Chain A
């Protein structure tokens, strides 16, 4: 009676095919559809490659050019500007930090308004969500360009750019976190006779707060990276110094700045990852 692969007979196989044909082969329509999808994807990739002239020859000559650049980059040198570079790094970090903090502070209250399970008025949260989309849909670089024109060169433009675009991203992430909460906890609190705000305080906040803080830290991590480029459009920080060096063909100093950026980003990633792990792991 024991099931044995060696004991499976021809008759068993016929019987199994009769009982559950789907176990052996997917229906024709399904197979055709998956073939169609794969062929379509391949055709699209091929079309784009041809359209953008992605010939191996061009890639190859580009690579050799990169080789020359790498050679003039080494050894990296400060040219006596080390203090300036470090100040630039700190400015970039400060921009990322303040921008993320302000963005998170704006996103926190808004996210509750956008969560379907908190505010069951669809027209309202539909509206709030479209506002997020505008904030988020415009890239942080474009916000930076706008703010540079509006309030002038310098870190303040960068901080505002990060804050605005983060407010949109974080509000969306926060509201999704609120929508994905475990309903058992809120039900438990509601069953004791708590009103909506009390349910929010004890049934929702304890579950979503660690998630929100973790998202915010991740955004800080990511903003440290993107804040380095903001300088290129004039929004302060290390990016401005880097862009100057590249324009003036001072590649050894540019290389040092890139190394400093890498070290900083690595350090922030490391610290933020540790903090996030502790936040998520809480109470386990």
Chain B
């Protein structure tokens, strides 16, 4: 169980995340939706502690996360793996080494510097690549891969961390619909088959609806909606995406990238 209580993050004058409280039971797949700048990314970064909260408590299975540092913090980061919109691989390293980076916490600094990984760890990395169907690209440099392939390598890296939670920050925003489906399918499988909690920022409503057990809508750093996909009505979507009233009537299908669902919409 991941429990956020009154979590806030302020950058200079901007409150990115404003007093957010959220309880996520183990094994749930949660989609976070909201406009750009609503604080979705910051919320995920707060959980991984890539940014430090200005107020509030983050609690995982009874342990406080918001204030830990040093080795305990690194251990937490290993436990809650993260996947990014721009994949955040090391482009000049080959795929297998990128995946082995997932073992960083478990290696001593000296071993890491000399790339000394155990045969078991190398096997684990190969198995992760097999699972994501990327084994045939294992020795290629990461920058020779397409976006969808890179994101699958990033997920393989996340899996070798042996995570309890997987945070995905707009994982499909840079991908075409087919690759988006493959990546979302992989996240879904990891959630269903491994029982790993998945928290995923998404910018299309249908993707969230199609893949998540629960949807959280954020508006200006606060939670404006929290419920199952069936409760996500047109009115709620309008609250989440059009709260300023500056937007005229909009069609959610226009922004859709998911295959099969809402692909009728074409931009202008």
Q: Is the CB of B125 within 8 A of A23?
A: yes
Choose one: A1, A3, A20; the contact of B160 (CB below 8 Å): A3
Interface size class of B (residues with CB under 8 A): 20 to 34
Measured CB to CB, the closest approach of chain B to A30, in angstroms, equals 11
Q: Is the CB of B124 within 8 A of A22?
A: no
* Residue A24 interfacial (CB < 8 Å): yes
Closest A residue by C-beta to B129? A20
Residues of B within 8 A of A20 (CB): 96, 126, 129, 135, 138-139
Measured CB to CB, the closest approach of chain A to B159, in angstroms, equals 5
* Residue A51 interfacial (CB < 8 Å): no
Closest B residue by C-beta to A1? B193
Q: Is the CB of A12 within 8 A of B196?
A: no
Q: Which of B4-47 contact A (CB under 8 A)?
A: none
Given known A-B contacts A3-B159, A20-B135, A8 and B195 have beta carbons under 8 A apart:
no
* Residue A5 interfacial (CB < 8 Å): yes
Q: Is the CB of A2 within 8 A of B128?
A: no
* Residue A82 interfacial (CB < 8 Å): no
Give the docked Cα–Cα distance between A1 and B186 (Å): 13
* Residue A19 interfacial (CB < 8 Å): yes
Measured CB to CB, the closest approach of chain B to A60, in angstroms, equals 33
Of A8, A13, A23, which is in contact with the most chain B CB atoms at under 10 Å from its CB? Answer: A23
| A110-133 interface bits toward B, Cβ cutoff 8 Å, 1 = contact, 0 = none | 000000000000000000000000
Residues of B within 8 A of A22 (CB): 96, 138-139
Q: Is the CB of A5 within 8 A of B125?
A: no
Of B119, B126, B129, B195, which is in contact with the most chain A CB atoms at under 10 Å from its CB? Answer: B126
Q: List B residues at the A interface (Cβ < 8 Å).
A: 96, 106, 119-131, 135, 138-139, 159-160, 162, 193-196
A-B pairs with lowest CB-CB distance, top 6: A16-B126, A2-B194, A16-B123, A1-B193, A22-B139, A23-B96
Given A12-B123, A16-B126, 17 more A-B residue pairs with CB atoms under 8 Å apart are A1-B193, A1-B194, A2-B162, A3-B124, A3-B131, A3-B160, A3-B194, A13-B119, A13-B120, A13-B123, A20-B126, A20-B139, A22-B96, A22-B139, A23-B125, A23-B138, A23-B139
